[in-house]
Amino acid sequence: MKTIKILEKKENLDWDYDEDADVLYISIGEPTKAVSVDVGEGVIVRYSEEKGEVVGLTIIGVKEKTLSAIREKS
């Protein structure tokens, strides 16, 4: 099985939340060429084949998912 580095470099972690679209973008390090992999349930992983590591995440519907989970626990 191929090794994938995930969040090894915790510095240079940046994020942006688009409230209108309810999308959270997380970037790890400097922007780099990457492949987008839809891993399901509104999560897209940005993977650098050159570096062999995750360079970003996009989470669609993060606010709605959070509120839904809170309502389920209540």
Q: What is the pLDDT of residue 38?
A: 97
pTM for this one?
0.80
Residues near 41 by Cβ (< 8 Å), separated by ≥ 6? none
DSSP 21-34: TTEEEEEESS----
Q: What is the pLDDT of residue 7?
A: 63
Structure confidence by residue, pLDDT tens digits, 22-58? 999 999 888 889 999 999 999 999 999 988 889 999 9
